[in-house]
Amino acid sequence: MPFSIGTIIWREIWQRKSRLVSGLMAIALGIAVITGIQTVTTVSRQVVAEKLDLLGANILVLPQAASLDDYYSADIDAPTFPEDYVERVATSMLPGVDNMSPKLSRRVKIGTESIILTGILPVNELASKPIWQASGLMAAELDLACATATAAGAPAAATTPIDPAKKRPVIDSLAAAEAWVGSVAAQRLGLTAGQVVTVEGEPFTVTHILPETGTIDDSRVFVHLHTAQRVLGTGTQISAIEIMGCCSAISDGLLAKLRNILPDTRITTISHIVNTQIETNRLMAKVSVIMLVIIVLVGAISIGNYMWANVEERRREMGTLITIGFKKRHIYRLFFVKSLVLGVIGGASGYLLGTGAALILGPQLAGLQVSPVFSLFVWSLVVAVGIAVVGSWYPTYRAARMDPALIMQEQ
Amino acid sequence: MFVLDNLTKIYHHRSEPVYALDSVRLTIPRGSFLAVTGGSGSGKTTLLLMLGGLIRPTSGTVTFKGSDLFSLTPAQLAEYRNRAIGFVLQTFNLVPYLTALENVMVPMLLNGTAAADRRNRAEALLKQLSLDRRMDFFPRELSIGQQQRVAIARALANDPEVILADEPTGNLDPSLSVEILDILEALNREDGHTVVMVTHNPQAARRAQTVLQLSAGRIISEKAVAPTGTAAASEGSRGVDKSN
């Protein structure tokens, strides 16, 4: 390889390996910390998103003329809309819609008690009712959570066919003559599992008494949606669709997009759930940004310190090169190329170190199954090179402006 | 070659002006060998660095081959140093992590010399200075005499018209000093390089054709050196014009 300015840079780095190591350590450790944290955070986000999804449905679609009172009281004349609205949303492939559970609710007389009969699609309903799952009613595994939906690049709509292999042996079906009964309703009606309850003249076997949820669901009797439509004589009408929406998608205007698809409905969020989800996501994002800023600052200061020391150490050398005829741009090149090399090596080794630490420590300390985030590799290189260049900018500027006459007179 | 007209350099120390050079007028012809002597702080190094375009005068001009040096841009001054000037310094100032050969090639990186020519020229110079067996040695592996010879080879890399030497024998023992002075003298007499050498050493100064003595930034004497090595007062002779 012919002798060039590149040779000078490489020789200086190579001949001063021990000093290089301290400079590299500063970058590599900084990048390792942020890569490790980001790797764990990425996994944590998915876990948190899944847990947030478990809070249940967060968007409610009602008929235009209906109020929330209508929805909860389920009066006989409460407005309805066609069931095929569910299909309309599903086929729109709208990102951020994790699950939809359509339902038809009507207040009926069972014996002497006034009870709300609610027709549901059991798989979809279970997906949005995690607390029911705890009692042995299990939902099929849906493609939950913002992170996974985004990664897949497509929403998991309610009508997405569910891979039978993913299903666990669960109680997730509700036959035409079966009913699930809320805990309060069961108490009021004196029902236990296996008994038969007659609703609107039709007998239903109670296959499950639902766990207490502290919600209006405790006072309901659930049958299959299509059975309810037949029994109540509403045709293919429903009272509402409860949607589990990805919270970041809600922030990004999911409601407006739903309104475009279903213009004659009233779409609202279940605010306490959405707010919790959005606040949690914001907090995690803020923590990541704060960590990034700290690491960038510490890294830049460390590199700046190293480069400063390097410039001081090389004062005589710089003075000599200037007397030989080096211009400012040559001096800038010497130091900036060196900082680029430091950035690339420091970034790459920091990524490997941080990812390795996350893979080892993630399961041990946080109980998370961590996998490498390959996109962080590019990110690590960019940040490390940025830190190195920013950190070495002022020392390099000083080096280029050195007065060789003063250096000569220092001899 | 050089014409210094009313050259003054003032530094400020605690708000007090300190004259490093005071109204110096001097002509240095092509092919001359000038020794500049004087005590510490007399301004001799300032004069040398000004000839190299490294220090800007407070007033006055330095003309090199008819061009005012300090009307040049910093980039043009860098090219001037690279092509027209070769510096030889007391502490050699070799780049410590480059070999002798690479140190000599450094100046040629900047003036477009082809890679093969750079190597050939550097090898030839090192051979000329009896360093052909030390080409791949790092400075720390060379004796100080060898280091100074490498520095001279580097100064000659781009075949400059002028050699500016700042105490080139200051760190050398007497026999090595003679060796280095022989080289500088040969460069002047045989190859026609103009040599300006700053020195404390009277014996070294007598190797020059003209000895200029500075005190407090002023030229206080200028003597032509007789061929026998004894200096004879000869103001204005050999083209050196002193005027304070």
**Section B43-67 average pLDDT:** 93
A146-151 contacts: CB < 8 A, separation 24 or more?
A146/A49, A146/A96, A146/A246, A146/A247, A146/A248, A146/A249, A146/A281, A147/A42, A147/A45, A147/A46, A147/A49, A148/A46, A148/A49, A149/A95, A149/A96, A149/A98, A149/A246, A149/A249, A150/A95, A150/A246
Min Cα–Cα distance to chain A from B207, Å: 24
- Of A30-34, A355-359, B16-20, the poorest mean pLDDT is in A30-34
Q: Is the ipTM of this complex over 0.90?
A: no
The greatest distance separating any two alpha carbons of chain A, rounded to the nearest whole angstrom, comes to 109
Contact B81 A15 (CB under 8 A): no
Q: What phi and psi values does residue A200 have, to the nearest 5 degrees?
A: 50, 40
Q: Contacts of residue B49 in chain A, CB cutoff 8 Å?
A: 404-405, 408
Q: Where are the domains of chain B?
A: 30-53+71-233
Q: Residue A166's pLDDT band (boundaries 50, 70, 90)? A: very low
Over the stretch A42-99, which tens digit does the pLDDT of each residue have?
A: 777 777 766 666 666 778 899 988 877 777 777 767 889 999 898 888 888 888 787 8
Cβ of B226 under 8 Å from any chain A Cβ? Answer: no
N- to C-terminal Cα separation, chain A? 34
State the pLDDT confidence band at A149, using cuts at 50, 70 and 90: very low
Task: Give the percent of chain A with pLDDT over 70.
Answer: 81
pLDDT at A145: 42
Mean confidence (pLDDT) of chain A? 79
| B chain contacts of residue A12, beta-carbon cutoff 8 Å | 97
Q: Which two tokens stand for residue B178?
A: 């003679």
pLDDT higher than threshold 60 for residue A139:
no
Contact of B106 with chain A, judged by CB distance below 8 Å, is answered with yes
> How many C-beta neighbours within 10 Å does residue A393 have?
18
* pLDDT score at A157: 37
Q: DSSP letters along A106-128, please?
A: EEEEETTEEEEEEEE-HHHHHHT
- Is the CB of residue A404 less than 8 Å away from at least one CB of chain B? yes
pLDDT for B234 equals: 43
- Give CATH for domain B30-53+71-233: 3.40.50.300
Does residue A1 belong to the interface with chain B, where contact is any CB pair within 8 Å?
no
A406 touches chain B (CB under 8 A): no
Q: In chain B, what residues touch A324 (CB-CB under 8 Å)?
A: 81-82, 87, 106-107, 110, 154
| Cβ contacts of B115 on chain A, cutoff 8 Å | 2-4
B87: contact with A, CB 8 A cutoff: yes
Chain A residues with beta carbon closer than 8 angstroms to that of B91: 316, 411
Helix, strand, or coil (residue B27): strand
> Is the pLDDT score of B59 beyond 60?
yes
Could you tell me if B96 lies within 8 Å of chain A, comparing CB atoms?
yes
A187-233: pLDDT as tens digits: 999 999 999 999 999 999 999 898 888 888 888 999 999 999 999 99
Selected residue of B110, B111, B167 to mutate for chain A interface (largest A Cβ count, 10 A): B110
Angstrom distance (rounded) from CA A1 to CA A5: 12
Which range of A168-177, A279-288, B7-16, B168-177 scores highest in mean pLDDT? It is: B7-16
pLDDT in tens, A37-54: 878 877 777 777 666 666
Q: Give the number of C-alpha atoms closer than 13 A to the C-alpha of residue A87, restricted to the C-beta side.
A: 5
Contact check, Cβ <8 Å, A3/B102: yes
Cβ–Cβ contact A319 with B under 8 A: yes
Query: Count of CB contacts below 8 A, A vs B?
Result: 84
Half-sphere exposure of A313 (CA within 13 A, CB side): 11
The pair of three-digit structure tokens given for residue A18, joined into one six-digit string: 């021990």
Is A408–B115 a contact, with Cβ atoms under 8 angstroms apart? no
Cβ separation B110–A14 shorter than 8 A: no
Among A10, A16, A320, most B C-beta atoms within 10 A, so best to mutate, is A320
Q: Which residues of chain B are within 8 Å of residue A18 when distances are taken between CB atoms?
A: none
Other C-beta atoms closer than 10 Å to the C-beta of B181 total 23
**Does residue A276 carry a pLDDT above 60?**
yes
